[in-house]
Amino acid sequence: MSGATPEGARTEQEAARWVRGMFGRIAPRYDLANHLLSGNLDRLWRRHTVKRLAHILDRPGARVLDICCGTGDLAIALQKRSRSRILASDFCHPMLVAAHRKIPGGVLFESDALRLPVRDASLDLITVAFGFRNLANYEAGLREMRRVLRPGGVAAILEFSQPRNGLFATVYGYYSRRILPLIGGVITGAGDAYRYLPESIQKFPDAPGLAHQMRVAGFGKVTFEYLTGGAVALHTGQIM
């Protein structure tokens, strides 16, 4: 299976079901856990992403979709910069309910990122923040992102990665395996979700590996940059 592999899931359908159920359980306290566990760095990572994509967001009439939008934080950050209405989707209903509370007038829809109800070649930008790693099939996810983008359109993937520096990697590894599941469990009541998090990051391709998969999927001008010492990476690729 070339995607998320939560413990016990034997098929892509089972993996997707587990992921959807897990996010459903943590949805009400997701934002609090997120900001606390990242020391608010998640806000900076999303803001940085928006800055990098400003040249597309500034285009009049740009059509933008944020998939795996969760409670909507990236969509909100994109909307602040964009003149057109940002679309946002997720396959977890409780996450969309939380997003709707934050962006009552937003265009939100429930959809699996692997089967988007979006026309071929109709978007200028598709974004995904900390959701791509959870897809049951990465190749299918990239194929779907490519399908909905127009020529010249850009895909941006903000995702956890592996820290590069030895000492930071050790400290970060200890924090994410020992401390994060404890605090995440107390805040959300779902310790398993925060044990899955470091496991899923460990199994996820490193940044050059993801860039390679994007090129294989047909994206051009693929670039990535590390943020916070490589704990996070932002990849972009364009439809040529």
Residue ranges binding ligand SAM (CB under 6 A): 16, 19-20, 23, 68-70, 73-74, 90-92, 95, 112-114, 129-131, 134-135
> Who's near 38: CB < 8 A, 6+ residues apart?
none
Q: Which two tokens mark 102?
A: 């934050």
Question: Which residue of the chain is nearest ligand SAM when measured via CB?
Answer: 70
C-beta closer to ligand SAM: residue 135 or 211: 135
Is residue 116 within a helix (H) or strand (E), and if so which, with residue range?
Answer: none
- Comparison of 102 and 221: residue with beta carbon closer to ligand SAM: 102
In the bound complex, what is the minimum distance in angstroms from residue 193's beta carbon to ligand SAM?
10
- Is 120 exposed, middle or buried (CB count within 10 Å of its CB: 0-12, 13-18, 19+)? exposed
Minimal distance in Å, beta carbon 147 to ligand SAM? 15
Residue 130 or residue 219: which is nearer to ligand SAM going by CB? 130
DSSP per residue over 200-227, as a string? HHHHS--HHHHHHHHHHTT-EEEEEEEE
Nearest distance, CB of residue 129 and ligand SAM, angstroms: 3
Contact 239, 222 (CB under 8 A): no
What's the closest the beta carbon of residue 55 comes to ligand SAM, in angstroms? 21
**Closer residue to ligand SAM in complex, CB, 143/221:** 143
CB of 125 to ligand SAM, least distance (A): 15
Element housing 83 (H / E): none
**Cβ closest to ligand SAM, residue 70 vs residue 163:** 70
* Nearest residue to 15 (alpha-carbon basis) of 198, 211, 196: 196
